[in-house]
Structure 1
Amino acid sequence: MNALPATKPRWPLRLARRAVSPALFDFWAGRVNPLWTLEQPLARVVSRTAESRDAVTLVLCPNGHWTGMRAGQHVNLGVTIGGRRLIRSYSPTPLDDGTLAITVKAITGGVVSTYLAREAALGTVVTLDTAFGEMTVPADHEALLLLAAGSGITPMRALLRDLAARGMPTVVDLYYWARQRDEFCFVDELMSLAAAHPRLRVHFLATREGDAPDARVDALAFDGVTDLDQRRVLACGPGGFVEAARARFQGKVAGFDAEAFSLPTLAVIDDAGEVEVHLARSGRTLTLSRGQSLLEGLEAQGVKPTHGCRMGICNTCACARTSGTTRHTLTGDRSSEPSSQVRLCVSAPATDLILDL
């Protein structure tokens, strides 16, 4: 595999920016090399490997506009399927040769995940946006307790590779849950890291096999974790898993950070009735339910706001609220501050609203 990312053309880009629009430049330059753009980070799929029974790892070779990321961060990745550009968030692992690895599990009904896991051929080009997320390892080398369920192992893999490159400077325990043993990813790599670094211990827990039911994050004793009150906990997985981990450890450890790749099944939608939402830029006024997120309500009315993770992490769907009150669908907190940014995917309308859409 060619490890050097394909880069932008060598002619002066400043002159190109003055002469043509980015869209026009990308249209014609892309006919010479699909990774040539004026500004947009792109990446080409250069390899694919079966990672577990239901997951595939794709290695992406980015162009010269990619500015990099910290281990543990997420990236909005865009693909074109059926003439539509769709965006989803993934947590890549930066590899030593400058490429990125993403591990994708085909989700029932998931258009993008199914396409990437089963259909995307070598050479497929995807867009990359600026990396985001705060679930990274700081330089002060706190002792860590990493909790991963399902696809939540992907940022943990990146974090462990980063720590290993620094000589594993702190004590780390990784607990990794999957339903069945053939769903675990990176098993050989994780075991090799643990064998090479005595400060790292890796625990695999299969919840639908011999380890259940005491293997659940809210039931496990974690007796083997020394100095638990001094650990920083990082958790990633489905929403219900993250909330169970939060309840288990919040206030009992030195710090707790988490990211969920699905919303928890909580009774968070408790408002009945409808409100009017005025979209200032388009001039439309819509009647939306208080009982669903703004993103879901707008999509049901045929409005397609730009969005990414749908989890309240990436801020891609954020827009200004000119007036009115919104309710956070996970916490129930209400906000009425004028001209503040609202994340549509995790905000529901509590009163009539005016949004900058």
Structure 2
Amino acid sequence: MSAKPRPPSSRRNPVSPRHWVSEELFDFWAGRLHPLWTLRRARARLVAREPASADAVTLVLRPNRHFRGLQPGQHITLGVDVDGRRLSRSYSPTPLADGTLAITVKAIEGGKVSQQLAQRAVVGDTFELGQAFGEMTLAPRAGQRLLLLAAGSGITPMRALLRQLDAAGMPAQVDLVYWARRREELCFAEELAALSARHPNLRVQLALTRDPSAPSPRVDAFAFDALGDLTNAQVLVCGPGGFVDAARARLHGQVAALQSEAFTPPVLPDAETGTVQVELRRSGRTLALPRGTSLLQALEAEGLRPASGCRMGICNTCVCGKASGVTRHTLTGEYADEPATQVKLCVNSASTDLILEL
């Protein structure tokens, strides 16, 4: 009796390089021939750069075939080599018609990755590219009422969403309010003005909080009543943690739904002080880490480099096991004391002594 043949999906292909060479070795030598050739990993090459504002630059990246694409409003994690170390940061790209991705990077004082990308990255540089993540996306439909609120770099996902709506004929009534300190810090101002001129149902307001002639109110004092009835509005908010918190408080109970993403964690008003003992079970180390500081930041301050990505609790790259102890969520202030659970290092701090699977 003949053996039953294996299904095609289970047959090994002896010609495939993954069966006779390690992925790391293949990527090393293939990369010598072409910087985007890898066995499985998504990578991207910088093909163009242009200024976006006084302190920001837009980089156009061409991903390799292993990148699975993204929806407007989602994020990707970019791996950048800085001083011999690979660091990861999250950005919200605008997908372009030719398959490239445009990311806009604001140079932050002391920010190693932002300084590298905004000031020193040159055409031809290559980067590790994570697959897309995030749920602040839209399915454009007629009759929608949308309110988009952005501050600083938070305009980048809004730009991608507006381009998606533009391609769909702007079926929704959309208001965008975009906060910046000064006019020269605005990104995409001309593009936003052109979109608004093309679509009567898109209104764009630029709120300049440090305009010397007429400073605009911040989000907590903004006159949302002037935008009309927001009872049925879907609101999307992106910006620093304090901005997102203020927007949520300001619009609580006044809109149908509110989604938000903060690219800096808010500061808890009653943050705990002192230190606790954190045992890293796999490495056999015990560290005294500060309470009230995210575990990711505290571990990095000790010279460790845990895997990380978005640094805002979305992508799950920094998740690790917690064997025991109490953590505090830096975004909500909630405590978690369950043993043998998973914890996101970027948005949790140690409240008591901990044992982590690191």
TM-score for the superposition, normalised by structure 2: 0.92
Cα distance in 1, alignment partners of residues 212 and 130 from structure 2: 41
**Counterpart contact for 2:81–2:87, Cα < 8 Å:** yes
State how 1:332-347 maps to structure 2 within 5 Å: 332-347=333-348
1:268 Cα offset (Å): 4.5
Change over 3 Å in CA distance of 1:49–1:235 after alignment to 2: same
Mapped partners of 2:285, 2:266: distance in 1: 32
Partner residue, 2:9: none
Q: 1:259 to 1:14 in 2, by over 3 A?
A: farther
Distance 1:121 1:95, change over 3 A: same
Residue in structure 2 matched with residue 91 of structure 1 by the alignment: 92
Aligned counterpart, 1:219: 221
Equivalence map 1:290-329=2 (5 Å)? 290-329=291-330
Q: Which moved more, 1:337-346 or 1:123-132?
A: 337-346
Q: Distance in 2 between matches of 1:176 and 1:14?
A: 54
Identify the range of structure 1 (286-295 vs 64-73) with the bigger mean alpha-carbon deviation: 286-295
Q: Residue 283 of structure 1 aligns with which residue? A: 284
Give the unaligned 5+ runs of structure 1.
Answer: 1-11
Distance 1:328 1:204 in 2: 33
Q: Any residues of structure 2 matched to 1:252-271 within 5 Å, and which?
A: 252-270=254-272
> Which residue is equivalent to 1:69?
70
Give the deviation of 1:101 after TM superposition. Answer: 0.2
- Give the Cα separation in 1 of the matches to 2:316 and 2:324: 20
Code of the residue aligned with 2:168 in structure 1: it is: R
Q: CA deviation at 1:181?
A: 0.8
Question: Counterpart in 2 of 1:5?
Answer: none
Q: CA deviation at 1:151?
A: 0.8
* Shift in alpha-carbon separation, 1:314–1:20, aligned structure 2, 3 A: same
| Structure 1 runs (4+) greater than 3 angstroms displaced | 138-142, 210-214
Larger Rg over CA atoms: 2
8 Å CA contact 1:328–1:334 kept in 2: the answer is: yes
Number of residues paired by the alignment?
345
Deviation digits for residues 131-178 of structure 1 (CA, Å, limit 9, x no counterpart): 111111135563110001111100000000011111111111000111
2: distance between equivalents of 1:174 and 1:312? 25
Q: Aligned partners of 1:264 and 1:111: how far apart in 2?
A: 21
Quick check: 2:46–2:122 contact (8 Å CA) kept in 1?
Answer: yes
1:237-248 to 2 correspondences below 5 Å: 237-248=239-250
Per the alignment, do residues 276 and 128 of structure 1 end up closer, same or farther by CA in structure 2, a change over 3 Å counting?
same
Residues 41-90 of structure 1 deviation map (CA, whole Å, 9 limit, x = unaligned): 11111111111111111110111001001101111101112211111111
2:191 to 189, 192, 200: 189
Give the 5 Å matches for 1:129-278: 129-139=130-140, 142-209=144-211, 213-270=215-272, 272-278=273-279
Do the aligned residues in 1 keep the contact of 2:323 with 2:355 (CA within 8 Å)?
yes
* Equivalent position amino acid for 1:65 in 2: H
Deviating more after overlay: 149-158 vs 289-298: 289-298
CA offsets 1:200-236 (integer angstroms, 9 cap, x no match)? 1111111111575552111111233222111111111
C-alpha displacement of 1:288: 2.2
Structure 2 residue 18 is the aligned partner of structure 1 residue 17: yes
Match of 2:219, as an amino acid?
A: V
SS at match of 2:250: helix
Name which of structure 1's ranges 122-131 and 305-314 shifts more when overlaid on structure 2: 305-314
Aligned alpha-carbon RMSD (Å): 1.8
Pick closer, same or farther for the CA change 1:273–1:111 going to 2, 3 Å: closer
Structure-2 change in CA distance of 1:14 and 1:157 (3 Å):
farther
Amino acid at match of 2:309: G
Q: Which amino acid letter does the alignment assign opposite residue 167 of structure 1?
A: G
Any conservation in 1 of the 2:141–2:171 contact (CA below 8 Å)? Answer: no
> Paired residue for 2:44?
43
Identity of paired residues, percent? 60
Is the 8 Å Cα contact of residues 46 and 60 (structure 1) preserved in structure 2?
A: yes
Report the Cα distance in structure 2 between the residues aligned to 1:136 and 1:211, rounded to whole angstroms: 36
Letter in 2 for 1:301: E
SS in 1 for 2:227: coil
How far apart are 1:20 and its partner, in Å?
1.1
Structure 2 SS opposite 1:80: strand
Which piece of structure 1 moves more, 292-301 or 226-235? Answer: 292-301
- Further displaced range: 219-228 or 87-96: 219-228
Compare 107-116 and 221-230 and name the one that shifted more.
221-230
The aligned amino acid for 1:217 is V
* Unaligned stretches of 5+ residues in structure 2: 1-12
Note closer, same or farther for the CA distance 1:211–1:232 as it changes in structure 2 (3 Å cut).
farther
Amino acid at match of 2:296: L
